[in-house]
Amino acid sequence: MPEVVVSNSTVIIALSSINYLYILKEVYKEIIISSEVFNELSRGQDRPGSNIKEIDWINVCSISDERLKDYLSYHLHRGEAETIALAEEKKAFLVLLDDYWGRKIAELRKLRITGTMGIIVKAKKEGIIKEVKPLLIELIYKGFWISDNLYNSILQKSDEGKET
């Protein structure tokens, strides 16, 4: 039985924006998203990730108990709250989150998490992509904020040296 991986919208948007969404499928085979995440992605016609309806390896699941989502919504956006609630309900192996507070709350709830940068590093280690640096540069160009420390850390983890 495959491991359950639940994703929030930001990871899908980031990888779609640079035409590397396919690495999610290569690394994790199948992704689950919540109804709220599906709606967030579907609203952005012609935006990265808006073709979500056409992607057969990303499945939409509704949560059966709304109480946890409602509780988490006091501190998080609905998408992050529903992603964490779905991950707990499905006993997910991994949650894909970039949002700082979403990650902090997921950690507090003992969920295993990674984000766009972790996925890119894993894709390189598994030989799915050859280099990390061009993807980081393209993400920055597309408007994704990556601190200098994170940028350098990712390059080191990927054996691509350090840049400032």
3-state secondary structure 30-67: CEEEEHHHHHHHHHCCCCCCCCHHHCCCEEEECCCCHH
> Do the domain assignments include residue 10?
yes
Residues in a beta bridge with 31: 58
Q: How many CA atoms lie within 13 A of 1 on its CB side?
A: 4
> Do the domain assignments include residue 149?
no
At residue 16's C-alpha, the angle toward residues 10 and 22, to 5°, is: 110
Check residue 6 and report its DSSP letter: E
> Do the domain assignments include residue 160?
no
Instruction: Give the long-range contacts of residues 117-123, CB within 8 A, separation 24 or more.
Output: 117/146, 117/150, 117/154, 119/11, 119/15, 119/23, 119/24, 119/27, 120/20, 120/23, 120/154, 120/158, 121/154, 121/157, 121/158, 122/27, 123/20, 123/23, 123/26, 123/27
Whether the CB-CB separation of 96 and 5 falls below 8 Å is answered with yes
**Phi, psi (deg, nearest 5) at residue 163:** -130, 155
Q: How many domains is the chain built from?
A: 1
> Do the domain assignments include residue 99?
yes
> Do the domain assignments include residue 107?
yes
> Do the domain assignments include residue 151?
no
> Do the domain assignments include residue 140?
no
Question: Which residue's structure tokens are 């993807």?
Answer: 135
pLDDT value, residue 49: 77
Write down the pTM of the prediction.
Answer: 0.90
Return per-residue pLDDT of the chain as tens, 164 residues.
468 899 999 999 999 999 999 999 999 988 999 999 998 888 867 787 778 888 889 999 988 877 777 777 778 888 898 999 999 999 999 999 999 999 999 999 999 999 999 999 999 999 999 999 999 999 999 989 999 999 999 998 888 875 54
> Do the domain assignments include residue 51?
yes
What CATH number has the domain bearing residue 100? 3.40.50.1010
Query: What is the SS3 assignment for 114?
Result: strand
Q: Which domain holds residue 107?
A: 5-116
